[in-house]
Structure 1
Amino acid sequence: MLRIAFFGSDIFSVKALSTLLDAKSAPNNNLISSLDVITRSIKPQGRKRILTDVPIGTFATNANLPVHRADSRDQILQLSEKINPNLTIAVSYGKLIPADFISKCEYGGLNVHPSLLPKYSGSSPIQYAIRNGDQTTGVTIQTLHPTKFDRGEIIAQSGEVDILENENYDSLLERLGKLGSDMLIQTLQDGLYKSPITPIIPSTSFSLAPRISPSESEILWNDHTTKSVINLYKSLGPLHTFQKRLTKKKKNADAVEELYKVIFSDIKIYTGPLELSQISLGAFHLDSVNDRLLVKTKDGAISVGLVKFQYQSYESPTKFVSQTSKRCGVTSSKTKFIQSI
């Protein structure tokens, strides 16, 4: 039977761990004898520096599974003798599992990855698929490579999974998480992890989906079309732009321009009547009937339902527009959103 060392962190990894736990707890279980969870240490997060566990840590603790904290290579290697696994499973752990740890496992290691590898190799495949407007994606089960991310042998791969019209990151993660966890159990039941492994020849080409930085959630008015803004919102959540604000550093000094961040949520494509030809990119006005902020894009307009000016809370578009003159030192008819570069 399998003695599994499970490395994970996020919601996607919780789906896989939950399915493994169900299999271990089944009355007729003859597959899994032990299930140890390895994840990161609990660290303070946010402006108030509140100690917050990662989702896999919370789930495993509530499920009364053994939870081990490891943030470094040495800490991981120390666990090898302690838990004595014969199979490593890593799902969204975010760090390479040391080759020495994997080699001590009789059956090596497996990884569940939410794309059809080698397409979107890296830490953010779901976000890239949605942001790029892909029509389909999928899930891959691969072996763990000892020195590189997403370079293992592909031993199972789903068919193409449609990305729905209104799909966002959360909904696609939910669907791929369920598919991936089912595929993982089937892989274990079929013994595909045992030598000799018969790799699958992939049908996609290599592309990279590296970690997404906070700056990538900025709307670039000179480049983004309406559809690309919507895809960005679906993949990353709330987006930001900037607004110029005139401020005085000293009482008798001239006012200087500064950029203040403005965050949008509840973003939709605007399809109603709007004369766009004379409006500059990033210019906005209030749809007072529906309480929506309409903003000019490269090829149309977006409609925004919630707005957050820097240092303020989310507010309605009506309130945001009414505060523009006071906050920025100019009338709303003479200001617009701009990009930082």
Structure 2
Amino acid sequence: MFRLVCQRGALGLFNHQNISSIVVATTTRCFTTTISNSNGASLIKGPPYNILFFGTDNVSIHTLKALNENKKNKGDLVNELQVVCPKSDKKEEVETYSMNEGLAIHYPHPDTGMKQFQVPLTETNKTEFDLAIVVSFGYFIPKSVLSKFKYGGINMHPSLLPRHRGAAPMYHTILENDDTTGISVIELHPQRFDAGNILMQVKDNQYRKDKLYLQVLNELAELGSKSIMETLREFPKLSSEAKPQGEQGKTLAPKVNRQMSKIDCTNSTRKDLWILYRAFSDNISLHCMIYNKKYKTNKRIKVRGMITPYQIDPLLEFADTENQSIYQSLESDLQSYQTRFPQSELSPGTYFLETDKSKSYHNIMWLKCKDGWVGVTKIFEEGKKNPVKASEFLFGKNIISINDPSTPIPYTQIIT
């Protein structure tokens, strides 16, 4: 069986199955949502293609550069390339690059977005573009726009769909502590975000659970770029073999916010804080409040460096080996501290800086959480220009260490 779609105007292809014919009427085009006939001959021609690229940011830019380099040099995959991107005062990466490269740029309407977007024609022969390629664009592309492309549109999504559908898949990959990740190249769905048939999925074999967000982003963006180029190379074949996503295993990945990146020592384990550090420390920041005696007020500090906690995840055993002696030495001295000061309550949020240089854990800010301690190595203080080592941040602030033989850590030495 196959499904006929009737539509005035242009031909659009979204879901593909084998057929033997295509019907075109005078005023209304009727076509099946497939790409090959009964003999296997492709109704979608092979590359090069005329491409309209939709993108915005540091994820999109990898694919745009690859497309443009192919057009300028080989030309075996890309014949013509134009760009659609949001217009902004700060000039996102896709817009800046496109201007510098002399690529034709088109903008969504600031109020209506893509709803009334007028799809341009190719510059060379004033015909429809073959394909829309979408990477981290931010706007939903409606059926009225998709129908203007000869072969519809494809999207690179940085997760293994249907896991992490939504605007922030890479954040949620880390926040959900996934053991693996990758990218999906899918057909654009005419009604829903991230729900199209799968053309290609590639696992990220370099992914490790000690990598921070921007490292993961760059890896997946580059992997996605290569996968888009491979999809173009094999597009007729991949389109004929496209598979529905299904709903089994589906999770959602909505946008994140700054409140999610606040340290809560009382309710967070070492593993929790490490996950938050990976997700937020190199972008919107992992932060907490600390009392500033000079200004007699709480000030925000951002954690920019952390030692991988010991024994929190089997996939971090390589990091455990490096840090095992540090944590074992710390735990031993903490027991001695509790023996000297049995009444001293080291509640979650307590911190100290070890100044004894003979200790392997010296010059690190140790922060107490629900099930132990995490080591902070670099801090950015609100109002300052640059991040500094934790030892520099705490220097001269009368911070008590656990090896001070006469003074326990005061209950006021705590972050919130």
Q: Where does residue 53 of structure 2 map in the other structure?
A: 6
Question: Of residues 83, 100, 103 in structure 2, which corresponds to 1:62?
Answer: 100
Q: Which amino acid aligns with 1:281?
A: P
Pick closer, same or farther for the CA change 1:195–1:117 going to 2, 3 Å: closer
Structure 1 or 2, whichever has the larger Rg, is 2
Shift of 1:297: 1.4
CA distance in 2: counterparts of 1:179 and 1:141, whole angstroms:
11
Answer yes or no: is 1:170 the counterpart of 2:214. Answer: yes
* 8 A contact 1:114–1:138 mirrored in 2: yes
Question: Of residues 363, 378, 384 in structure 2, which corresponds to 1:291?
Answer: 363
Give identity over the alignment, percent.
25
Shift of 1:192: 4.2
Q: Where does residue 289 of structure 2 map in the other structure?
A: 242
Q: Which amino acid aligns with 1:212?
A: V
Computed over aligned residues only, the root mean square deviation of the Cα atoms, in angstroms, reads 3.0
CA distance in 2: counterparts of 1:101 and 1:188, whole angstroms:
21
More strand by share: 1
* 8 A contact 2:153–2:188 mirrored in 1: yes
CA distance in 1: counterparts of 2:270 and 2:100, whole angstroms:
43
Structure 1 residues 145-204: Cα deviation after superposition (integer angstroms, max 9, x where no partner): 223211111121124645214322222222222221121112112124886563255696
Answer yes or no: is 1:40 the counterpart of 2:113. Answer: no
Query: Does the residue aligned with 1:262 lie in a helix, a strand or coil?
Result: strand
Superposition map of 1:120-135 within 5 A? 120-135=164-179
Query: Does the residue aligned with 2:307 lie in a helix, a strand or coil?
Result: strand
Pick closer, same or farther for the CA change 1:192–1:169 going to 2, 3 Å: farther
CA distance in 1: counterparts of 2:61 and 2:77, whole angstroms:
19
Structure 1 residues 263-322: Cα deviation after superposition (integer angstroms, max 9, x where no partner): 211122462414277411011011234432111111221111222343344344344335
Shift of 1:80: 0.6
Query: Does the residue aligned with 2:133 lie in a helix, a strand or coil?
Result: strand
Answer yes or no: is 1:181 the counterpart of 2:259. Answer: no
Query: Does the residue aligned with 1:101 lie in a helix, a strand or coil?
Result: helix
Answer yes or no: is 1:94 the counterpart of 2:161. Answer: no
CA distance in 1: counterparts of 2:213 and 2:263, whole angstroms:
18
Answer yes or no: is 1:335 the counterpart of 2:413. Answer: yes
TM-score by length of 1: 0.82
Number of aligned residues:
317
CA distance in 1: counterparts of 2:195 and 2:257, whole angstroms:
23
TM-score by length of 2: 0.68
Q: Where does residue 47 of structure 1 map in the other structure?
A: none
* 8 A contact 1:36–1:66 mirrored in 2: yes
* 8 A contact 2:146–2:152 mirrored in 1: yes
Q: Which amino acid aligns with 2:372?
A: G
Structure 2 unaligned blocks of 5 or more? 1-47, 123-127, 310-326, 339-344, 399-407
Answer yes or no: is 1:16 the counterpart of 2:63. Answer: yes
* 8 A contact 1:187–1:193 mirrored in 2: no
Pick closer, same or farther for the CA change 1:175–1:308 going to 2, 3 Å: closer
Answer yes or no: is 1:268 the counterpart of 2:307. Answer: yes
Answer yes or no: is 1:105 the counterpart of 2:146. Answer: no
